[in-house]
A = this chain, B = another copy of it.
Amino acid sequence: MLRCGLLDEPQKGGTVPVDITPAVPEPETIVAPPRGLRSDRIHSQVLEATAALLREGGYSAATMDAIAQRAGVSKVTLYKHWPSRTAVAAKAFGLMMADALPQPNTGTSAGDLTEQVLHVSEFYASDLGGVFAQLIAACVEDPAGAAYFGEFFLAGRRAAVAELWARAVERGDARPGVDVNDVIDTLFGALLFRLLIGHQPLSAEAAASLADVALRGTLLPTAKG
């Protein structure tokens, strides 16, 4: 009825040898926006305006009317470039977050992955983490938006973690036979759970504790720092 189908990452080349291909077929929901010089200008104006609105007032402030006005663009145009409000917001959020999280490099597999979990936990606990939760929520009812969120935000995040995992595999720290997607979902699913439900804190200690549990299940005992 309302399954999402969020992820269809562009898979841009051999940087990531590990397979993170989505198991579900790629939806054709991402609109090909009109081409041309004007289109490019509009595209960036809209995304900047949306990002600003998201920062200032969260998803609920990023109304189509508000975006249109702030970007100096008409609503009709918005709907010609994106299939829904969620899609605009998702793409804007993705670009805004593009290089927010630095790739950790501690020298050890456990260290890298733990630090990544800490970064994400911190992000979730921030204001933008709230926006992230709102977007996840919005995507539940809007598969079209979900495709954008997968493409422009989630794919990048997953690729980053997949790269860390690939390093661990190279180092011989990974427990054999463990799927990278299981690693990612186990490491960050718990954080997402807490972000959405809010039943448990998202503190650094809590994150470290969760990372420890998850890494014990995925790395070899010898890899534990």
Q: Which residues of A contact B (CB under 8 A)?
A: 1-7, 22-24, 58, 60, 127, 130-131, 133-134, 136-141, 146, 150, 154, 158, 175, 178-179, 181-183, 185-186, 188-194, 196-201, 206, 209-210, 212-218
Least Cβ–Cβ distance between A26 and chain B, in angstroms: 11
Q: Determine whether the beta carbon of B185 is less than 8 Å from that of A200.
A: yes
A24, A178, A217: which has the most chain B beta carbons within 10 Å?
A: A217
User: B7, B139, B192, B218: which contacts A189 (Cβ < 8 A)?
Assistant: B192
| In the bound complex, CA of A210 to CA of B201 (Å) | 23
| In the bound complex, CA of A188 to CA of B193 (Å) | 8
Determine the chain B residues whose CB is within 8 A of the CB of A23 once the complex forms. 199-201
Copies in the complex: 4
Q: Determine whether the beta carbon of B141 is less than 8 Å from that of A134.
A: yes
Determine the chain B residues whose CB is within 8 A of the CB of A58 once the complex forms. 1-2
| In the bound complex, CA of A213 to CA of B187 (Å) | 10
Determine the chain B residues whose CB is within 8 A of the CB of A136 once the complex forms. 137, 140, 196-197
| In the bound complex, CA of A3 to CA of B203 (Å) | 13
Q: Determine whether the beta carbon of A198 is less than 8 Å from that of B137.
A: no
Residues A137 and B141 in contact in the complex (CB < 8 Å), given A185-B210, A189-B191: yes
| In the bound complex, CA of A186 to CA of B211 (Å) | 9
Determine the chain B residues whose CB is within 8 A of the CB of A193 once the complex forms. 185, 188-189, 192
Residues A182 and B178 in contact in the complex (CB < 8 Å), given A134-B140, A154-B197, A198-B4: no
Known: A1-B131, A178-B213, A185-B193. 11 other contacts (CB 8 A): A1-B58, A23-B199, A23-B201, A24-B199, A24-B200, A60-B141, A136-B140, A185-B194, A189-B189, A196-B196, A213-B214
